[in-house]
Amino acid sequence: MRATPALLILVAALTGSARAGETTIPDALIAPGEKVVLTLHAEGAQIYECKTDKDGKLAWTFREPIATLMEDGKTVGRHYAGPNWEHQDGSVVTGRVVGTAIGATENDIAWLKLNAVGHRGDGVLANITTVQRVNTKGGVLEGACDAAGTYRSVPYSADYVFLRKD
């Protein structure tokens, strides 16, 4: 039996799938009762630092993201440590991770659900309640670190979906 488009939509609705564009959002990232305000594409790097772990061994530790936020191919903001997302209109949202899902490959950083824990400014990000990081490519660091205090930058891209409660 071949599934019709209507049947596929019904199955997606019954299984709790939400969509950001054409992306199926994993259950751990769904934000019930919230609507998409804005989706921005990010191109940047995940920055790692070589540190001594609790067992005295050197290990890479995630330090911060650095990325350009784009809409329709134009730069409209930036993403940086906090984690913060800053729009060119001056609004900023800060998030805290509350849900994760694995990336498409072992080289892709995790998809995330972040609750907004702070805001600045009156622009498009002022009333955001949830941020989803989806469609990740790259960002995972491989290999051993040799000297504490050294850094590595690993290119990544992702889509950030900004939502708010109605």
Give the model confidence (pLDDT) of 80-99 as tens digits: 999 999 999 999 999 999 99
pLDDT(18) > 50 = no
Could you tell me which residue, 66 or 20, shows the higher pLDDT?
A: 66
Q: For residues 109-131, give the mean pLDDT.
A: 98
pTM of the model: 0.85
Residue 31 and residue 117: Cα distance in Å, rounded?
15
In this model, does residue 20 exceed pLDDT 50?
no
Q: How confident is the model at residue 166 (pLDDT cuts 50, 70, 90)?
A: confident
List beta partners, residue 101. 111
Residue 128, CA distances (Å) to 56, 70, 163 in order: 41, 18, 6
